[in-house]
């Protein structure tokens, strides 16, 4: 029997509504302890005052509820007067940090039993360590910028605050947070499923390639999942972020074996696309037939979509950040709804999150059992 007072409530800012609605729909098929409230997109009001400060309001009773609130880095640039659809939305990393803090305060004041921030793409992970001066070797006076989110979680620890995120850029991210303050899941099984369904019996034509040494673990895992060869990785000399001064291919196999292969390049984020296009161009010059970039988070700055289209590069990405990809036949989008709903169901039931979300065979078997494959 459900406890009406402890029901799970899903809230979402405007740019997260579609994904949150799909996650809620899958949750209705699960046995959720204490039950699940209906999803109403209007339960979280996010607007701006004329001064452009955020105006936020919780328009539903959350007292005693376990609240999961979806927060996107896409944000209003100005106040909307009639409906949120009329607003102008841009990728504004600062906004996610501000919305998280203000929404957390509103939920705390309203008496939420637990507060879980769902951020499929979490910003402020680029400054993940202190750099050193290239000439003197002295450490720079730089922040670990993701600590801004860590402090928010600390503020609401009495309400069990956590952040749920997908494929973070910073692999040691959890160490920044209070114990248990961060839950991470990965796009590995999602991309493995895409490849198996897309290529089927033609999987032997594929080869995995890592854009850098840091992504090797992800790439090799996907290769293992679907039974394709791992070709190698590249080293990059960066003149500045998004630009590559030089690129070296480190092959684990004879270089000629890349000829006529469809090469997959998985990674966590695509920003301007400059590094990716340079990598893909060199692989095609070495004889690759096609290149598929499997990118978890489509930030897509600096006209990246047009550059990918002109470079004849196929992009496979997720709905962690909402975009309109009409007019770009080279882009496929896979949803994070399944892995997010499984993670949320595990968090409220006390079950292990790892399970089939990190094991492709178990992931596949569970989806087949539920007739979702």
Percent of all residues in the chain with a pLDDT value above 90, rounded to a whole number: 62
Q: Identify the CA nearest to 110 among candidates 156, 151, 79.
A: 156
Instruction: Examine the pLDDT at 3 and tell me if it is beyond 60.
Output: no
Sign of CA dihedral 345, 351, 353, 358: negative
Say how many CA atoms lie within 13 Å of 309 toward its Cβ.
13
- Per the CB < 8 A criterion, the answer to whether 71 and 100 are in contact is yes
Mean pLDDT, the chain, as a whole number? 90
Q: Which helix (DSSP H) or strand (DSSP E) does residue 225 occupy?
A: helix 216-226
- Ordered structural domains, the chain, with CATH: 4-186+337-369 (3.40.50.2020), 188-334 (3.40.50.2020)
What gap in Å lies between CA 369 and CA 304, rounded to an integer?
39
Residues 6+ apart with CB under 8 A from 206: 195, 199, 226, 228, 229, 261, 262, 263, 264
> For position 1, what pLDDT does the model report?
43
Q: Are 27 and 341 in contact (CB under 8 A)?
A: yes
The model's pTM is: 0.92
Look at residues 199, 367, 363, 222 and name the one whose alpha carbon lies nearest to residue 294.
222
Angle between helices 337-349 and 188-199 (to 10 degrees): 140
- Three-class SS state of 232: strand
**339 sits in which H/E element:** helix 337-349
Task: Please give the backbone phi and psi of residue 42, each rounded to the nearest 5 degrees, phi first.
Answer: -90, 5
Is the pLDDT at 355 greater than 80? The verdict is no
Place of tokens 């966590």: 268
Q: Give the pLDDT of residue 267.
A: 94
pLDDT at 77 > cutoff 90 = no
User: Span 68-72, mean pLDDT?
Assistant: 98
Mean pLDDT is lowest, of 38-52, 137-151, 359-373, for 137-151
pLDDT band at 242, cuts 50/70/90? Answer: very low
Q: Which residue has the higher pLDDT, 250 or 326?
A: 326
pLDDT band at 247 (very low <50, low <70, confident <90, very high): low
């Amino acid at each position: 029997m459900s406890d009406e007072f402890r029901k799970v409530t899903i809230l979402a800012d405007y740019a997260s509504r579609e994904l949150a609605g799909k996650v809620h729909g899958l949750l209705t098929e699960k046995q959720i302890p204490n039950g699940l409230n209906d999803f109403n997109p209007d339960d979280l009001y996010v607007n701006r005052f004329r001064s452009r400060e955020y105006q936020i309001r919780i328009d539903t009773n959350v007292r005693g509820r376990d609240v999961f609130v979806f927060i996107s880095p896409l944000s209003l640039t100005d106040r909307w007067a009639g409906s949120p659809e009329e607003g102008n939305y841009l990728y504004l990393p600062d906004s996610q940090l501000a919305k998280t803090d203000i929404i957390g305060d509103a939920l705390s004041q309203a008496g939420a039993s637990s507060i879980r921030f769902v951020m499929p793409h979490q910003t402020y992970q680029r400054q993940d360590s202190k750099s050193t001066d290239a000439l003197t070797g002295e450490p720079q006076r730089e922040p670990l910028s993701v600590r801004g989110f860590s402090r928010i979680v600390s503020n609401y620890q009495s309400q069990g605050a956590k952040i749920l995120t997908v494929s973070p850029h910073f692999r040691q991210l959890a160490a920044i947070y209070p114990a248990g303050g961060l839950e991470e899941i990965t796009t590995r099984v999602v991309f493995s499923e895409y490849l198996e369904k897309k290529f089927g019996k033609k999987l032997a034509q594929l080869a995995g390639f890592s854009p850098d040494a840091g992504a090797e673990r992800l790439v090799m895992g996907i290769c293992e999942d679907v039974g394709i060869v791992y070709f190698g990785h590249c080293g990059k000399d960066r003149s500045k972020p998004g630009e590559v001064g030089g690129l070296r291919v480190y092959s684990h196999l004879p270089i000629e074996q890349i000829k006529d292969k469809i090469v997959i390049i998985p990674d966590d984020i695509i920003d301007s696309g400059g590094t990716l296009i340079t990598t893909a161009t060199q692989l095609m010059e070495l004889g690759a037939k096609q290149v598929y970039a499997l990118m978890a988070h489509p930030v897509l700055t600096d006209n990246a979509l047009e550059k990918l289209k002109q470079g004849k590069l196929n992009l496979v990405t997720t709905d962690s950040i909402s975009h309109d990809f009409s007019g770009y036949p080279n882009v496929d989008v896979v949803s994070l709804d399944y892995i997010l709903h499984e993670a949320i169901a595990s968090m409220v039931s006390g079950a292990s999150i790892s399970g089939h979300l990190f094991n492709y065979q178990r992931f596949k078997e569970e989806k087949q059992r539920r007739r979702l494959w």
